[in-house]
Structure 1
């Protein structure tokens, strides 16, 4: 990593290399349940842009620049009524497309509503998520990415604010060797059942890796021999521009997708989307032989109205993420942090708002991290400098080829064959794309 590489990867505002690249894709913006028809407007920030979201009388969602185009007062203060949002400063009213509907403080003969438009972005609702397209071609947006978990009508989605740059948050998902320490470092084989999916990880906490580029981003397989003679694979993906699929579920029966949506350069919002026959988050169902749950659930703080006040955890840097040193000492939790998500939250936020990559010393176990950085940076610079199409924007079906999870397979087969065999046995969710003609 050179300093300019780090800057191009982590900065996401308008005009930046990664920011312009990400604006080519549809992004999760908020959960559908966060907005009510004619309800309170909501402040949101995406890619360093301060926005306001609202649901109008007909149930349509608008995402607009928070500044009223008249005198730049915040539309968050506006009245959401009668199919539009009305600025309280002078009464100008705008619909979900940004069209000016009324300017009642101007004499009738001088009004010019058709010539005024608030900056507005395309939105689309699907399976409980409000998506937004912030690209330049608002009249011809691309199709939504065909990510398996996001296509399932019964998918479970939850959000969490993380106080750090999107890249370091995302990289916590594509590092499989940390699981044997951060999450299950205190566990021994006698603590879990013989068929527990964490058994191979406890058996060998230093897996080898196979990493390879894909049409949708990068795939890795962390592999180690199981004590029954089979090869244990933990397969995961980076998908353009900020998606991961983590291996922390059974490959054949559950699909997952995690979006690390940049709020600004120093904050990100996780959208965790899962579906499958195993109901609920597998991490919170996992138990020791004694029947004791491996991890506690985390607790949300009450939502506020600020740009950084949604989906925050009670535990954060101000209380050291809830760390319990006695729990750390006695082996209850390797970290002393009882929740698996907070364990990830703590280490990535502890790196600072944006990691100083010049202080890193990467190892062979970081092969997926380094390859993902290279793949993302190459694609973003190719778009910025050469006008090369952002991968998957106009051919979103490529994302459906990705599935993550853990499974056992014959030891002689390489990643390609093991992955193909596992995918052939997997139950798929959502509507599969039609084959290209």
Structure 2
């Protein structure tokens, strides 16, 4: 268990807090590119406790500034982008893409008042259909080009949900292999029984014989051996990585995925499911095939958690621990060694940052950043690829074009174009 002070140090994300300062050393996705692809678009976002407005100006550049105009506190969500920034709709004060005021129409032309006015403003960049923000000290590190962001000949989908809980309990779930056999195994069977579906539709209710964790350059590799398997199985021999500090990589031959956890504030996390569907050999994905964006539901029309798909089960477990899990009352066992390892890594990297060093996964060398390949299982659980039909028990079931994606990847005819 942790003390209350230790729990706060690992969960608070605001400016000036230990974890808030550590997380500001990294790029975080804040929107899908399609949400701000139109010139003149604005979108209100929240990141690391700060209310911000993302916009695309008339020069087709993205900017990210504080939500409130410095003049009278009006929200810039309703401001209008110009050639080189965003203008407040109330009195016309103009801010550049990093928050510097550059024009005050009703002040004297000779006034230098505008030069003294600056609101928060941060760097934003795009890769792989996502918009990323950096809120840390200059100079900004490289925006990591993880392999899925730059992979050729795949179909991408982006799912999202705003999760009402702290980012850390979501990440700790990824360091907890044994919940697979219970939450996504025995519990899935229970859910299917309640729905009147055959319980053997989902076949990963297997006991864990062995779990393991190894640190590598980009985080931690999680490994498992299930009943009936050996260490030659890819889930042990290759494993799948937790990329420090906020990302999980998972998938198999049919679909490779990132789960990215973005701390909005201490009690809310924006969660992205970024999936690349891989066509069978010889199948060419149509050029400029659109990246679909969809929201993953947490609850149904009755306010009950949606638990008949894997990611819904995870969200239920994350949220029911409370907005911020109370780690002063937990009782960790030997199966929780991955969680303990991750917490120690966070504490170690906090100390590195406090000593003026770059923490783990902060990339400065562009050569290293060309295409960062991560380990990937190709036959997860020995159950076949996600395109076998299992895709509909994951978040991707909510992708509006899932059937078309599967048809394309299997070599079928393109049915439509989003």
What TM-score results when the alignment is normalised by the length of structure 1? 0.73
The answer for the alignment partner of 1:97 in structure 2 is: 98
Q: CA RMSD in A?
A: 3.1
In the alignment, the residues of structure 1 paired with residue 36 and residue 337 of structure 2 have an alpha-carbon distance, to the nearest angstrom, of: 41
**Residue in structure 2 matching 1:210, options 209, 212, 215:** 212
User: Residue 68 of structure 2: SS of its match in structure 1?
Assistant: coil
Change (3 A) 1:317 1:351: farther
Q: In the alignment, which residue of structure 1 is the partner of 2:344?
A: 374
Distance in 1 separating the partners of 2:177 and 2:256: 18
- Counterpart CA distance in 1 for 2:165 and 2:301 is 11
**CA shift for structure 1 position 401:** 4.8
- Aligned-pair CA distance for 1:208: 1.5
Q: Report the alpha carbon displacement of residue 64 of structure 1 after superposing the two structures with TM.
A: 0.4
Distance 2:157 2:380 in 1: 26
Q: Report what 1:166 is aligned to.
A: 167
1:358–1:107 Cα change, 3 Å: same
1:263 is displaced (CA, Å) by: 0.2
Q: Distance in 2 between the 1:392 and 1:407 partners?
A: 27
SS at match of 1:184: helix
Alpha carbons 1:223, 1:232 under 8 Å: kept: no
Structure 1 stretch 226-235 or stretch 375-384: which is displaced more? Answer: 226-235
Corresponding residue of 2:146: 147
Change (3 A) 1:406 1:312: closer
> Cα–Cα, structure 1 residues 263 and 109, in superposed 2: closer, same or farther, change >3 Å?
same
Partner of 1:405: 377
Over 3 Å counting, the alpha-carbon distance change for 1:318 and 1:170 in structure 2 is: farther
Q: Secondary structure at the match of 1:109?
A: coil
Query: In 2 relative to 1, CA 223–54 (structure 1 residues): closer, same or farther, beyond 3 Å?
Result: same
8 Å CA contact 1:100–1:117 kept in 2: the answer is yes
Q: Can you list the C-alpha shifts for 1:5-61, whole angstroms capped at 9, x where unaligned?
A: 211111111011111111111111111111243444221110001111111112211
The equivalent residue for 2:361 is 392
Identify the match of residue 361 of structure 1 among 331, 345, 348.
Answer: 331
| 1:241 maps to which of 238, 245, 267 | 245
Q: Which region of structure 1 is more displaced relative to structure 2, 120-129 or 79-88?
A: 79-88
Q: Provide structure 1 residue ranges, at least 5 long, that are not aligned to the other structure.
A: 280-298, 301-310, 323-336, 410-437
**Do the aligned residues in 2 keep the contact of 1:225 with 1:231 (CA within 8 Å)?**
no
Q: Judge which range, 49-58 or 205-214, deviates more.
A: 205-214
Instruction: Give the distance between the partners of 2:279 and 2:327, measured in 1 at CA.
Output: 38
Q: 1:275 to 1:110 in 2, by over 3 A?
A: same
Question: Does structure 1 residue 222 correspond to structure 2 residue 206?
Answer: no
Structure 2 stretches lacking a partner, 5+ long: 191-197, 281-292, 382-418
Specify the alignment match of 1:313 in structure 2.
297
Contact map agreement 1:317 1:346 (CA 8 A) in 2: no
CA deviation after TM superposition for structure 1 residue 361, in Å: 1.2
Q: Quote the offset at 1:314 in angstroms.
A: 6.0
SS of residue in 2 equivalent to 1:208: strand
CA drift at 1:88? 2.4
